[in-house]
Chain A
Amino acid sequence: MSDTPAVSVIDLKKTYRSGLFRRRKVEALQGVSFDVRPGEIFGLLGPNGAGKTTLIKVLLGLVKRSAGKANVLDLPAGDRRGRMRIGYLPENHRIPRHLTGNTALEYYGQLSHMPLSEIRSKRGELLDSVGLGKWGTATVASYSKGMLQRLGLAQAMLHDPELLILDEPTDGVDPVGRAGIRDTLFWLKDRGKTVFLNSHLLQELELVCDRVAILQKGLLRHVGPIQELTQAASPGVTFRLTSDQENLQDALHVLDSAEISWRPIENQGQPTVILESSDQPTIDHVVDTFRKANVSISAIIRKQLTLEEAFLQLVDRDSDEIDDVRRAQSEGAVPTESEKTTEGGNS
């Protein structure tokens, strides 16, 4: 497998202008940089208005970038040769209602330069794989939301693309269908395909994604493996202790003097403290301190956050920070991300 990223985004910016004289500006992307590795399932997260759809549209060439760089499959984003190797399922897609499942695949397959004979030989198996095997001759007008979604996925896979960009692929799909789509994604991954996933259903992403990127208000807040995110956002480690009050106070004084953050919590009369840091040397140091002060440790509990919890925590925490950064940027006190990159490059 090639080391060239399937998607490479460097300091990508997009500003929409509207109004009579195009004076009103909306900065949808404010210098986003990340890579998507070939063969991985990559998730894009973010609250509404974060710039996720804009980012996808820039990758497909539907929207022109204002600044920065975006490459897809080693070609400039939007390049027709690149689009030939991409399968795209848009959010709330509209397949013309006069088409049937079969003719829809013929139509979109031909738009991807596929010969009709090849489409006809593949479409039965493909519709079967998304659970629409018996619906090929029915008009799209008679399809449910979930069926439409599955047909959309089928058209995205039809021309055997290297990269699939799926925007809310499980939207409107029932749990069984969702499991089916999940299986399809793993099947694609097994075949070496890269999947770029945008979804609000974080549990779904957590189950399938290798890495995720979190966008908020046009800024990239995080990119990396899910585990890294959930650990980084961990709420700390809980120590359940058994000790007299004096020894416990001595031990906590030692922690204070070592500048280790902790906080007590109520636990049915049993002394319990939560260590805010969850890195291993700190935990080791705290265990040694308690044992030296004759404080017995009856339990050490490390809590693992879900992706959703981690996402909410990150978004909530960062929201204020972003506002502060923006305010500072507008006052000129803090350099923008692109300015930082430029400065770094010069140094």
Chain B
Amino acid sequence: MRPYLAVIRDSFREAFATRVLWIMLILIGVLLGLLAPLGFERALSVSLQFSDFQNPQAFIKELRDNRNSSETTAGYVWSRLSDDFKQEVKDVTPDTDRRRRMGVLGRARNEINRLFGEPDFYDKKVWADTRLGSEANELLDRGLTSLSEEERRRFNRLAFEAAFPSHIEASGRDAIQFVYLWYPLGDELPIQETQLQQIGEQVLSFLVSRLVGNIGVFIALLVTASIVPQTLDSGAIDLLLSKPVSRPLLFLSKFFGGCTFILLNATFLIAGLWAIVGWRFGIWSDGLLWTIPVFVFVFAIYYSVSTLAAVIWRNAVVSIVVSILFWAVCFAVGLAKSSLDNWFLDSRRTANIIPAGETLIRLTQTGSGYEWDDENREWRELFEQRRRGGPPGAGRQAAWLGAYYDATNERLVGIRSGGGSRWFRGSSKLAIATQDDDWKPRESIETPSGVRELLPTRNGDILVAGTDGLYRLEGEAIGPADAFKLFGMSLPGLGESAEFVRVDDQSLEWKRPFAAAIDAVSGRVVVNVGDTRAILKETDGRYVVESSYQHESTDEVLLGFLGDTYLTANQNGLIHIFNSNGKGLWDLQSPFGNNEPRQIVTSPDGKWAAVLFHHRKVFLYFNDGEKTGPEFSSLIGQGDISAVAFDADSSFLAADRFGRITRYAPEESFAIKETMEPQPDFLETLYTRFIDPVHTIFPKPGEMENVVTWLMTKQQTIGPDDTDELSASRQVIDIQEPLWSNLAFLAIMLTVTSILITRRDF
């Protein structure tokens, strides 16, 4: 090995002899030097953020509507706003363009943050009817005059959010204030130190992917493109090959030696970032260090193309051009696949499976509905998605917040999401569909703000839960279809007599992280509100807290009720089983690492639960009162499952591909009972027969970014930026395929180049 180690050692010597390396190292050093003073301080959450507005339009409307009633909190807040801003709000009409509305929202935030700083903002009389939370009461008990500036701002913030619970998200106590040297950078951010790690890893993942994965690799390709052509120059190669060395090993040594440039730069930058982020933020991310070999690997893929071109043409410029062409082809193939995925095929995937009596309905991510036609073996379209255009990718809220079949009233009940971005999301409405009406959904009244769950009851009541409480629909959701026609046109909704009535006993502080589930057998509801978990039992039409307990976690969770027990699946992929008293029954399980859960479904017989994760794998759990534990039966399409459900007789249904649903018998070790899969159309055939196979075998250096994301976050999905909701769709990232296809490609390129070098006369 001595000769080959000498070649690699010489590559380091050569790299250090180049000015470009030193320039790069100096630039990296300067960047690290600039980043080093960045740090954070612990602070109280006092400022209002954009993300705290649940429904900003409604909030501003409420302020404006109450401008003449200063005894209300809305009127009082209005009276404290500046005249300029008031005029600006008055000028806003439904026709005002989006950019201007965003501007108004931004100024509203600034105005309110200004109010928090005013010592006399809190007026006891105005807040007389508002129920302050425990933290605010504690501060009030200490006396407002004795509070520090920061604590008084915090108190004002708490008073404000208590006054507008429907519009303003309740804030956690702790926040992070970013500082540069001793100077604060902007407002404090309402995140916990534990969340800082997650955010920091995401930022680092993005930063190193751009700096090293893109810029670094490109510069390294430019710098190293001449190494192999120079080695093959007459006079240089003669001298090397006259030595007792193997040609392929000599080439491979030169090849890996060529990777030293990126190795040195990436190591300096990433190790520097690792040390700074660890020192300043306490984030010691091992995953960050593991990205160094990943980036060297990405470079090696491009460099293998460059060296093959160099061996054929012996010209550095040609090598660079060929590498760029290779990048372009990889990009085009990846783009073709992701475009087809995002724009056409993902929208066909099943988002909800609804066993509706004798028939089976599936809803897609974009909101279209289909009924299974067993005779023709196809999905018959019931209704189309409401809005078109735009990929249903990550961050886009599902068109249906929830939907189930109400067997008592033989109707499909769902909540249609308003769509749009978080700040200008349309209102969500209850929708009802019946078989008599060929399952055409008809919209009813708006759901209360903050609704996150639709809870199917046995008696046909429509129950919704969210950060505003538990509500039941009173009155008829939908009237006769022909009763609301005006000049021959159907008018949406009925619901003047229908309304959502709060039915919880109001003893809980309903806030985020929020989750709820209902037990199909007993009708009891389990909720997670902030750091409290409670079981609510229906008594005389009201849901009263039967039991509750505090927990320390502030993680987002999903809940599933299963007889006398309930499951939680949190954002870190941990599954836990509790009995009704909140006592843990079963050890924490993390079946798929850090991946986030998306949906929990439970069987009507109370024996089975299935947790669907965002990376499209399903975890099954069994509990019949005597035996309890995970179920390891294999399911078809594990890794591609987009929705799960149990039907009325507790058969398990799982959807994969673009419209296949498989029915399993849980009692028979999940034996397949039935498969509902239509014939693929042209687009699906094109995808499955051509684009997907080509993409599979094609190298994917660009997709190695997925591996970096995984190393940093340990998650195989990329989530939306504007919501923590676990049910919000996330983009699945494939780690294995790019890794293996790139490895295979690299091996093939190096083998071909080695053969060429071996056979060639020099």
In the bound complex, do residue B235 and residue A92 qualify as a contact, i.e. CB atoms below 8 Å apart?
A: yes
A93 and B243 in contact, given A98-B14, A99-B13, A111-B3 (Cβ under 8 angstroms): no
Collect the chain B residues with CB atoms within 8 Å of residue A60's CB. 238, 241-242
CB of B761 within 8 A of CB of A61, answer no
Chain A residues near B246 (CB-CB < 8 A): 80
The reply to whether A111 and B238 form a contact with Cβ atoms under 8 Å apart is no
Q: Which of B18, B233, B234, B238 is most buried by chain A, counting CB atoms within 10 A of its CB?
A: B238
* Identity of the chain B residue whose Cβ is nearest the Cβ of A115 in the assembled complex: B2
B34 on interface, CB distance cutoff 8 Å:
no
Kindly provide the distance from the CB of A26 to the nearest chain B CB, expressed in whole angstroms: 12
Asked if B150 is an interface residue, CB under 8 A from chain A, the answer is: no
Tell yes or no: A276 within 8 A of B by CB. no
B632 at the interface (CB under 8 A from A): no
Convert A57-69 into 0s and 1s, putting 1 for each residue whose CB lies closer than 8 angstroms to a CB of B. Answer: 1001111100000
Q: Known contacts A81-B244, A113-B3: does B10 contact A62 (CB below 8 Å)? A: no
Tell me if A304 is interfacial: C-beta within 8 Å of chain B: no
Q: How many whole Å from B19's CB to the nearest CB in chain A?
A: 11
Asked if B271 is at the interface (CB within 8 A of a chain A CB), the reply is: no
Contact B243 A112 (CB under 8 A): yes
For B7, list chain A residues within 8 Å (CB).
111
CB-CB nearest in chain A for B233: A94
CB contact between A83 and one of B18, B237, B244 (< 8 Å): that residue: B244
Asked whether, in the complex, the Cβ of B14 is within 8 Å of the Cβ of A96, the reply is yes
CB nearest to B759 among chain A residues: A64
Name the A residues within 8 Å of B23 (CB-CB).
Answer: none
Q: Residues 1-22 of chain B: 1 if any A CB is under 8 Å from the residue's CB, otherwise 0?
A: 0110111001001100110000
Q: Are B14 and A86 in contact (CB under 8 A)?
A: no
- Contact flag A110-B238 (CB < 8 Å), given A57-B762, A62-B762, A103-B13: no
- Distance in angstroms from B236 CB to nearest chain A CB is 4
With A83-B242, A103-B13 as contacts: A111 and B235 at CB distance below 8 Å: no
Q: How far is the CB of B230 from chain A (nearest CB, A)?
A: 8
- In the docked arrangement, what's the CA distance between A230 and B13, Å? 51
Contact of B244 among A57, A62, A112 (CB under 8 A): A112
- B239 in the interface (beta carbon within 8 A): yes
A88-109 interface code vs B (CB 8 A; 1 in, 0 out): 1011111110110001001110
CA of A152 to CA of B6, assembled, Å: 18
> Which A residues, 247 to 294, have Cβ-Cβ distances below 8 Å to chain B?
none
Any chain B CB within 8 A of the CB of A232?
Answer: no
Contact with A92, one of B234, B240, B762 (Cβ below 8 angstroms) = B234
Contact yes or no, A88 B235, CB < 8 A = no
**A84 at interface (Cβ–Cβ under 8 A)?**
yes
> CB within 8 A of B239: which of A64, A95, A110, A113?
A95
- Interface positions of B from 233 to 288, Cβ below 8 Å from A: 233-246
Nearest B residue to A92 via CB reads B235
- Pick from B6, B18, B237, B762: contact of A107, CB under 8 Å: B6
Q: Is the CB of A90 within 8 A of B13?
A: no
Report B-chain residues with C-beta under 8 Å of the C-beta of A112: 3, 243-244
Measured between C-beta atoms, what is the minimum distance from A169 to chain B in Å? 14
Q: Encode contact with B along A323-342: 1 for CB under 8 Å, 0 otherwise.
A: 00000000000000000000
Chain B residues with CB under 8 A of A155: 239
Per-residue interface assignment for chain B, residues 452 to 490, with 1 indicating a CB less than 8 Å from any chain A CB and 0 otherwise = 000000000000000000000000000000000000000
Closest A residue by C-beta to B3: A111
Chain B residue contacts of A57, Cβ below 8 A: 238, 761-762
Chain A residue with the shortest CB-CB distance to B5: A110
Q: Is the CB of A83 within 8 A of B243?
A: yes
Does B762 lie within 8 Å of A84, measured CB to CB? no
A94 lies within 8 A of B235 (CB): yes
Shortest CB-to-CB span from A208 to chain B, Å, is: 22
- In chain A, positions 1-19 with a C-beta closer than 8 Å to chain B are 16
By beta carbon, the residue of chain A nearest B14 is A98
CB proximity of A91 to chain B, nearest CB, Å:
7
Across-interface contacts of A63 in B (CB, < 8 A) = 761-762
Complex-state Cα separation, A95 to B243, whole angstroms: 14
The answer to whether B17 touches A110, judged by C-beta atoms less than 8 angstroms apart, is no
> B239 to A94, Cβ gap below 8 A?
yes
The answer to whether A111 and B240 touch across the interface, beta carbons within 8 angstroms, is yes
B244 in contact with A113 (CB, 8 Å): yes
Q: How far is the CA of A95 from the CA of B7 in the complex (A)?
A: 13
CA distance A87 to B241 in the complex (A): 12
Bound-state Cα–Cα, A52 to B208, Å: 54
- Residues from chain B with a CB closer than 8 A to the CB of A81 are 244
Q: Select which of B2, B13, B236, B241 is within 8 A of A61 by beta carbon.
A: B241
* A47–chain B nearest beta-carbon distance, Å: 20
Is A62 within 8 A of B761, CB to CB?
A: yes
Give A98 Cβ to nearest chain B Cβ, in Å: 3
User: Distance (Å) between the CB of A116 and the closest chain B CB?
Assistant: 9
Closest chain A residue to B246, Cβ basis = A80
Measured between C-beta atoms, what is the minimum distance from B314 to chain A in Å? 14
Contact residues in A for B241 (Cβ distance below 8 Å): 60-62
Inter-chain contacts of B237 with A (CB < 8 A): 62
Contact partners of A115 in chain B: CB under 8 A: 2
B761 touches A64 (CB 8 A): yes
> Does A90 contact B6, Cβ atoms closer than 8 Å?
no
Which residues of the other chain, A, contact B235 by a CB distance below 8 angstroms?
Answer: 90-94
Chain B residues with CB below 8 A from A111, complex form: 3, 6-7, 240, 243-245
- Of B2, B6, B17, B236, the residue contacting A98 (CB under 8 A) is B17
CB distance from A24 to the nearest CB of B (A): 15
Interface hub of B2, B13, B14, B244 (most chain A Cβ within 10 A): B244
Cβ contacts under 8 Å, A95 to chain B:
239
Cα distance A84–B10 when bound, in Å?
A: 21
Inter-chain CA distance A219–B646, complex, in Å, is: 89
Chain B residues near A80: list those with CB within 8 A: 244-246
Q: Check A107 against B234 for contact (C-beta < 8 Å).
A: no
Measured between alpha carbons, how far is A99 from B7 in the docked complex, in Å?
12
Could you say which residues of chain B place their CB within 8 Å of the CB of A93?
235-236, 238-239
Cα(A115)–Cα(B238), bound, Å: 22
Q: What is the distance, in angstroms, from B482's C-beta to the closest C-beta of chain A?
A: 80
A80: nearest residue on chain B (CB-CB)? B244
In whole angstroms, what is the CA distance A155 to B241 when docked?
14
Q: Which of A60, A80, A96 has the most CB of B within 10 A?
A: A96
A115 to B236, CA, bound (A): 22
**A83-B241 Cα distance, complex, nearest whole Å:** 9
The docked-state distance in angstroms from the alpha carbon of A109 to that of B188 is 63
Cα separation A155 to B233 with both chains bound (whole Å): 19
Given A63-B761, A94-B233, A111-B243, is A88 in contact with B6 using a C-beta cutoff of 8 Å? no
A110 adjacent to B3 (CB under 8 Å): yes
Give B250's nearest chain A residue, CB to CB.
Answer: A111
Contact A90 B244 (CB under 8 A): no
Q: Across the interface, which residues of A come within 8 angstroms of B240, CB to CB?
A: 111
Report how far A81 CA is from B242 CA in the complex, Å.
Answer: 11
Assess the B236–A84 pair: CB atoms within 8 A.
Answer: no
Q: Which residues of B contact A88 (CB under 8 A)?
A: 238-239, 242
In angstroms, Cα B5 to Cα A114, docked, is 12
Residues of A within 8 A of B3 (CB): 110-113
B239 CB contacts on chain A under 8 angstroms: 88, 90, 93-95, 108, 152, 155
Q: Name the CB-closest residue of B to A106.
A: B6
CA gap between A81 and B243 in the complex, in Å: 10
Judge whether B2 and A113 touch: CB under 8 Å: yes
Closest to A89 in B: B239
Interface flags, A166-195, vs B, CB<8A=1, else 0: 000000000000000000000000000000
Instruction: Give a binary string over A109-131; 1 marks a CB under 8 Å from any B CB, 0 the rest.
Output: 01111110000000000000000
- Can you list 25 A-B contacts with CB-CB less than 8 angstroms, sorted by A residue number? A60-B238, A60-B241, A61-B241, A62-B241, A62-B242, A63-B761, A80-B244, A80-B246, A86-B242, A88-B238, A88-B239, A93-B235, A93-B238, A93-B239, A94-B235, A96-B10, A96-B14, A98-B13, A106-B6, A107-B10, A108-B239, A111-B6, A112-B243, A113-B244, A152-B239
Q: Which 7 A-B pairs have the closest CB atoms?
A: A98-B17, A110-B6, A88-B242, A111-B243, A90-B238, A94-B235, A84-B244
Q: Other CB < 8 Å A-B pairs besides A80-B245, A110-B6, 4 of them? A: A88-B239, A96-B10, A103-B13, A115-B2
